[in-house]
Structure 1
Amino acid sequence: MLTTAQIDAVVAAALLEDAPWGDLTGEVFLPADAIAAAQLTAREDGVLAGIDVVAAAFRLADPATTLTPCAADGDRFAAGDVLAEVTGPARAVLRAERIALNLVQRMSGIATATRRMVDAVDGTGARITDTRKTTPGLRALERHAVRCGGGVNHRFSLSDAVMAKDNHLAVLQQQGLDLTEAILRARDRLGHTTVLEVEVDRPDQIEPVLAGGVDVIMLDNFSLADLVEGVRRVGGRAVVEASGTVTLETVRDIALTGVDVISSGALTHSARHLDLGLDMTVSAGR
């Protein structure tokens, strides 16, 4: 769940980066008492994510600004729709404008890309999830955007769950350690609420991993035929996750193999910023 503290930390850092000693242009060009009114307007169709982030940008620039949402996170919108209205001191509105747009355009782009994948697998029973391939410092916002698009989140950080990937398994192999035994030892060290997931990239690794008692098995870069065979071999003994070069064009075929979860780094690392604009009018102060 995206909290006010998470939002404010990101937005405050962005505002400081963009105007470390104030907005010089606004201060020399705009009267101190000028009032601005602006509309956040969609210039293309999409799914909204980040309306509270937009509000925070204007609030932290100046508490005298007010934002009235016209849509909520997760809502679909069309080009031309007004998503929010903001009023306040013109200097503050213009200072916050680029930060608000940068973040809401990125978040809405992620939400829109996620919604397209979620729609593509509709009716298959598979869920779409993100990965840790997020922008440093923006993970909480980008993960929230995935949820706005109808997806679910993978582990938030390295501290949240055990996930042994190919490089972990390579170290075990180099050390001459048995895979099943290593998983069993790891399980003994974990609390009962901690999820244990292991990634495999070959069908022959499935049985040794399942013998260790994993909760989730990731089939990485498997062909469609191997995914079908992998799901059969697992036989409900663990949640099956498919990963590796998932695209909008391939995701439904992957879902139809019977996997439970499909993870895609592209949701966050390759999503295109959505085209949103802030249309503004400025009037003299009282």
Structure 2
Amino acid sequence: MTNDWLTNFIKSALQEDIGDGDHSSLACIPQNARGKAVLLAKETGIIAGVEIAVFIFKHVEPTSKVNVLIQDGTVVYQGDKVFEVEASVHTLLKAERLVLNIMQRLSGVATKTNQYVRRLEGLQTKVLDTRKTTPGMRLLEKQAVLIGGGTNHRIGLYDMIMLKDNHIDFAGGIENAITRTKSYLKDQNKDLRIEVEVRNFEELNEVLRVGGIDRIMLDNFTVEDTKEAVAIINGAFEIESSGNITLETIRDYAETGVDFVSVGALTHQISSLDLSLKAT
């Protein structure tokens, strides 16, 4: 995530909100009024988006002053002061909703991720995110996964090959999908890792026969079937478990010996952390 990308994102988000003017503030607050505000945590969780908030305030008013009291990745409790900001009152009111929307969602993602990560303490298995992200906020949400202790899977369709069920079915089978993919990468002079999703042991054995890939995803395998699949693969490829894995079951899957467990819920089934920005 570059500063240019973040600047463009903020510009678009502010334009969506402000339109031709923040008329509520313009109507009753003098243009030269200065003020202070504090960001408060209203529940326990992992805070995320502090650096983004500072960037937003500085974008709206370069001379604004932000005193960060709690850094990204820290556990916060109800009543904790995360940061204090001093700026034009118009700046504070323009930036308030964007800062809260981003920080509340990213903190929710980081908190959810950390819950899954803590279930795997003492194991080598890593918790992966997915592409089940909010349109336009993927880079922010994936950063929040990192803040929560998780690991990013591919960012998008461009940085890794993942041959899922529909690719395999449309291609006419696993062998066709893999061989065509390898030819494509060679023709395009691209060096991308290849992951193949399998739905059963028949598909698993076909992938092992064809080879030439980097990772196998076991889709919706039971824990017992996952144990058997890990034994069959026997270290030949990286192994990822995926599909309806919950907080209650993730450790069972990890203990089978898989390298990764991917959890779509990290970014699309979260509760935003309750935060508020209050005048002081």
Judge same fold: TM > 0.5, yes or no.
Answer: yes
Tell me if structure 2 keeps the 8 A contact 1:142–1:268. yes
- RMSD value, Cα: 1.4
Per the alignment, residue 72 of structure 1 pairs with 71
TM (norm. structure 2) is 0.94
Per the alignment, residue 155 of structure 2 pairs with 156
Question: What SS does the corresponding residue of 1:68 show, helix, strand or coil?
Answer: strand
Per the alignment, residue 37 of structure 1 pairs with 36
Tell me if structure 1 keeps the 8 A contact 2:44–2:78. yes
The answer as to 2:181 corresponding to 1:183 is no
Q: Which amino acid aligns with 1:55?
A: V
Per the alignment, residue 101 of structure 1 pairs with 100
> Structure 1 residues 3 and 48, CA, compared in 2 at 3 Å: closer, same or farther?
farther
The alpha-carbon deviation at position 200 of structure 1 amounts to: 0.6
Quick one: which of 193, 201, 204 aligns to 1:203?
Answer: 201
> Structure 1 residues 194 and 254, CA, compared in 2 at 3 Å: closer, same or farther?
same
The alpha-carbon deviation at position 63 of structure 1 amounts to: 2.1
TM (norm. structure 1) is 0.92
The alpha-carbon deviation at position 98 of structure 1 amounts to: 0.6
Per the alignment, residue 17 of structure 2 pairs with 18
Tell me if structure 1 keeps the 8 A contact 2:161–2:193. yes
Question: What SS does the corresponding residue of 2:207 show, helix, strand or coil?
Answer: helix
Per the alignment, residue 245 of structure 1 pairs with 244
The alpha-carbon deviation at position 192 of structure 1 amounts to: 7.1
Unpaired stretches in structure 2, ≥5 consecutive residues:
none
Sequence identity (%): 41
CA distance in 1, matches of 2:12, 2:190: 38
Question: What SS does the corresponding residue of 2:221 show, helix, strand or coil?
Answer: coil
CA distance in 1, matches of 2:64, 2:225: 56
Superposition pairs of residues 1-286 of structure 1, within 5 angstroms: 2-173=1-172, 179-190=174-185, 191=189, 193-210=191-208, 211-281=210-280
The alpha-carbon deviation at position 80 of structure 1 amounts to: 1.6
The alpha-carbon deviation at position 60 of structure 1 amounts to: 2.3
Question: What SS does the corresponding residue of 1:122 show, helix, strand or coil?
Answer: coil
Is the deviation greater in 227-236 or in 69-78? Answer: 69-78
CA distance in 2, matches of 1:257, 1:109: 29
Deviations 1:255-277 (A, max 9, x none): 11111100011100111100011
Question: What SS does the corresponding residue of 1:273 show, helix, strand or coil?
Answer: coil
List 4+ stretches of structure 1 deviating above 4 A: none
Q: Which amino acid aligns with 1:146?
A: V
The alpha-carbon deviation at position 193 of structure 1 amounts to: 3.5
Number of residue pairs matched by the alignment: 276
